[in-house]
Amino acid sequence: MKLVVRVKLLPTPLQTSALGATLHACNQAATWAAGVAFEENARRPLELRKHTYAEIRERWGLGAQAAQHAIKKTCDAYTTVKANLRNGRYGRPGAKRHARASGKPVVFRPQAAQPYDDRMLSWQHQARTVSIWTTAGRLKGVAFTGQAEQLAVLAGHRQGESDLVCQGGKWFLIATCEIAEAAPNSHPAGFLGVDLGIVNIAATSDGERHCGRRINRKREQDRKLRSKLQKKQTKSARRRAKKYAGKEARRNKDINHKISKRIVAEAERTGRGIALETLTGIRERARLRKPQRTTLHSWPFAQLGAFIAYKAKRAGVPVVYVDPAYTSQECSQCRHIERGNRPSQAVFSCRVCGFVEHADHNASHNIAHRGWYVWVCGAQSTALELTLIA
Ligand SMILES: [Zn+2]
């Protein structure tokens, strides 16, 4: 499976200016090539190369590889626009947005990502440096840094092209790694149910609760600060609001990585699969007062689900998705469903059998239980197909 690793470059001021000039040149060249592609209706690499290659090399001082990548990047951008036009992302033909997207050439931002192949970029993992092509010649010994775990993946599994990007004045290389998956566990010993929610972002059927009040309080503070900044219409306030939004997104992502890692590790250790609720409808299901709704909407549950899915795939842990309807009202002991089973946000108390548990755990038990059924039915249907074929 493919995995993307992002490392931060630590260039010296001199290296920074060389990288900046390079990215600018590559994107200017690509924007120019996009104009040619538009006029000449040449949107395939081979064709566009005929029209642009020599001039790109001469005018912007791009090396042979960089010029080819700039041309390919331009063609890829047109392919994306074409696909988006076709699938209606710009509205119907004749719509304003549709006309705008199809009626003028693609333009690249001065700092748009530029692909690098192995001839333009080499990695020295021991020294934690890269040697990278720029318009000012080859830069050697550009330091990089990243999380130890990610660097190990990078050193062992990097394959193909990497992208050079500049985000918020910082430089990154985004590398693709090809990782072997563990053999999938086809006989899980039950399922670990995960209930996603507002008070607890994730509660498992093993009784583990991830990240409750403390994070929500911090997020609430951030939200207040952001809306205050947004009300101020000055440029600096907007810039600060943007900075805080980025910071929060990074922190949320980090939390999602940690939660997903623990959940997958626990399932793997105990030889079980993971049962997740299907995410469509998590917003509709949560009937809440307004202040809580904003918190819910801003938590990236889809990202958490995606992290669990890929980490599980890597570890060979099966993941099933269950319909989450009434999981919060169903008794995990006697299966009785009633709204009155849930006297408060945190408490589950069965009206029939008297079973009492933390509401999120009760729900996660139900999800685990349904996960087992989904698995058995799925496994049975494949067995049935096999007998039918035989
Ligand atoms: Zn009950």
Same domain, yes or no: 207 and 84: no
How many H helices and E strands in the chain? 11, 14
Report how far ligand 1's centroid is from the alpha carbon of 325 (Å). Answer: 17
The answer to whether residues 275 and 376 belong to one domain is: yes
How many Å apart are CA 11 and CA 19, to the nearest integer?
A: 9
pLDDT of amino acid 389: 47
151-155, Cβ contacts within 8 angstroms, sequence gap of 24 or more: 151/5, 151/7, 151/125, 153/3, 153/5, 153/177, 153/179, 154/5, 154/7, 154/123, 154/125, 155/123, 155/125
Is 235 part of any domain? no
| Distance of alpha carbon 181 from alpha carbon 316, whole angstroms | 7
Integer Cα distance of 100 and 105 in angstroms: 10
Please give the pLDDT value at position 206.
87
Residue numbers of the chain with a pLDDT score lower than 70: 211-214, 280-298, 379-390
How far CA 222 is from CA of 201, 240, 241, in Å, comes to 17, 12, 10
Judge if 118 and 205 occupy the same domain: no
- Residues 6 or more apart whose CB falls under 8 angstroms from that of 239 comprise none
Name the domain count of the chain.
Answer: 2
Q: What is the pLDDT of residue 269?
A: 95
pLDDT at 213: 64
Ramachandran assignment for 281, one of left (phi > 0), alpha (psi -120 to 50 degrees), beta (any other) = left
Q: Which pLDDT value is given to residue 6?
A: 92
Residues 345 and 265 in one domain: yes
Whether 143 maps to a domain, the answer reads yes
Residue 297 and residue 341 in one domain: yes
Residue type, 153: V
Going from the Cα of 120 to the center of ligand 1, the distance in angstroms, rounded, reads: 65
- Ligand 1 centre to CA of 348 (Å) is 10
Ligand 1 mean position, distance from CA 48 (Å): 69
d(CA 238, CA 256): 27
Distance 155 CA to ligand 1 centre (A): 53
What separation in Å is there between the alpha carbon of 346 and the centre of ligand 1? 17
Q: What is the pLDDT of residue 281?
A: 53
Q: What is the CATH number of the domain that holds 263?
A: 3.30.420
Q: How far apart are CA 311 and CA 94, in angstroms?
A: 44
In a shared domain, residues 107 and 211: no
First to last CA, the chain: 32
pTM above the 0.75 mark? no
Task: Please write the tens of the pLDDT for every residue from 42-74.
Answer: 889 999 999 999 999 999 999 999 999 999 999
The dihedrals phi and psi of 230, each to the nearest 5 degrees, come to -65, -30
**202 and 80 housed in the same domain:** no
**pLDDT confidence of residue 390:** 42
* Residue 319 maps to a domain: yes
Domain that holds residue 133: 2-178
Residue at 253 is within a domain: no
